[in-house]
Structure 1
Amino acid sequence: MKPGPLTIVTGVTRGLGYAMAHELAQGGGHVVTLSRQTVPGLQDLAQTSGTMLTEILVDLVDASALEQAAEQMSKVLSESPHHQNCRLIHNAGIVAPIEPANQLLNLAAIRTAFDVNIVAPIYLTGYFLAATEHCADRRVMLISSGAGRRPTGSWGVYCATKAAMDRYAEVVHTEDHNHLRVCSLAPGVIDTGMQQQIRQTPKSKFPSVGRFEDMHSQGALADATNTAKATLKFLESDSFGKKLLDDIRDHA
């Protein structure tokens, strides 16, 4: 029987990443997660479904830990030459700091956002590409945001990191790596902990908070599980990568 894809996904302890990890764990093949903590019950779910699961613990802000995780990921890939279909999903992301430009004075918070949202994806992709030359079909999905494509006040850091993610995807595409498809995908506005964090931000720091409060009260937020299913289905479709900067709402 043809083995399923080897799929690597970051940031799986909550939100969209949590939902994707659960879907992947039921799909066969080999799933590799990179997160600060293991996901309770995920190993049992994978075992029941006949899916191989490798959980790599890493804080993406910790440079030394990130280097070790990249080496572990590369080792898994090098020890799985039978996998001809390899995937990398950059899902981990943070929205903080949420403040207008004249209040962005916490250097550590700014650096943390860049480390998680764009430095780690660039670094891990390098290791992924180097270790998957044997693959007949390899795909990199970066979970971006509409924030990277239009400005929103008080999201200077978040918008900048997501815009960088979009441009990075475009650069990788121009390099014409063998058998590689890449896409920076906006997942829509999902009912996750990140949205709760946004709604709890004072209006004095985030004037647009009312829009997100209204979306929540009106039931307009997308369900994380449904979005995960649509996202993973799109990842395996022929449409993936044909548009470098894409939106899952155009495919659901």
Structure 2
Amino acid sequence: MKAIVSGHSRGLGAAIAAELLRRAIPVLGLARRRNATLQAGFPGLLTQHEIDLADSAALVRWLGGTALPDFLGADDRVLLINNAGTVHPVGALGQLAAAAIADAVALNVGAPLLLASAVAALPCRQRRILHLSSGAASDAYPGWAVYGATKAALDHHARAAALDRSAGLSICSVAPGVIDTDMQAELRAVAPERFPLREHFHAMHRHGQLSTPASRAARLVDFVLAPDFGAAPTAALA
């Protein structure tokens, strides 16, 4: 099996890529920046491509090339983990810049759907697709309309794609829980008038209620490699 991980340069994506590499699963990492630490630790297993996944036109051009089939080679099992995403823009609708909304939709929704479609079209015996969702996909929060809507889109995409019953294709959109990443730090720095729940996130951080990226990555990799992966199109990790 080989794996494709978006947003592998930091945070949960870096932890997921590291977990896969430790299990001797080759990884193709897609992000704006390379991960020098992973490259040094796993030089023979990690392939990296620098790409801005919020640039849909650039991603379409990249997918039209040979990078995916070249990476896959003769392996007939492939795993896609759509991890890359942004929590911004945060704020009430009238406070949000149009460009920021467009970038968020392109990164959080456009890129996962484009990558999923490309992987689904690969001539592989087994294709597994994991979307990284959020509890915000089902629970609405003030100031988080764009983020919640984009994550809800991933959940619905997985539900509809599962109904296609494509041979050899399994898909699930998973809420991984609250994790101590740069995204959490960014939320704690947002002005309270733009994100009324900021203090709630501060409290979780103060009380040690955030999971580490490494622990969540191990759970996610176990989940996506399990024999029954895709039995339900959406899930939440305990």
Fold similarity call, TM over 0.5: yes
1:181 to 142, 145, 170: 170
Identity %: 34
Task: Indicate if the aligned counterparts of 1:8 and 1:87 stay in contact, CA closer than 8 A.
Answer: yes
Give structure 1 stretches of 5+ with no counterpart: none
Offset, 1:208: 1.0
Deviations 1:98-119 (A, max 9, x none): 1012323x10000000000001
SS at match of 2:114: helix
Instruction: Give the count of matched residue pairs.
Output: 238
Query: Whole-Å Cα distance in 2 between the matches of residues 217 and 86 of structure 1?
Result: 39
Offset, 1:82: 2.6
2:86 to 87, 94, 100: 94
Aligned to 2:45: 52
Query: Whole-Å Cα distance in 2 between the matches of residues 42 and 119 of structure 1?
Result: 26
Q: CA RMSD in A?
A: 1.5
SS at match of 2:28: strand
1:83 to 56, 75, 79: 75
Aligned to 1:192: 181
Over 3 Å off, 4+ runs: 78-81
Q: How does 1:99-114 map to 2 (within 5 A)?
A: 99-104=91-96, 106-114=97-105
Aligned to 1:25: 21
SS at match of 2:130: strand
The yes-or-no answer on 1:125 pairing with 2:121 is: no
Q: TM-score, normalised on structure 1?
A: 0.90
Give structure 2 stretches of 5+ with no counterpart: none
Deviations 1:47-99 (A, max 9, x none): 3xxx5321111001223321233235x54336635312210000001001110
Q: Match of 1:142, as an amino acid?
A: H
Q: Match of 2:40, as an amino acid?
A: D
Task: Indicate if the aligned counterparts of 1:7 and 1:30 stay in contact, CA closer than 8 A.
Answer: yes
Deviations 1:137-195 (A, max 9, x none): 21000000000011011101001000111001111111111111100000100000000
Aligned to 2:131: 142
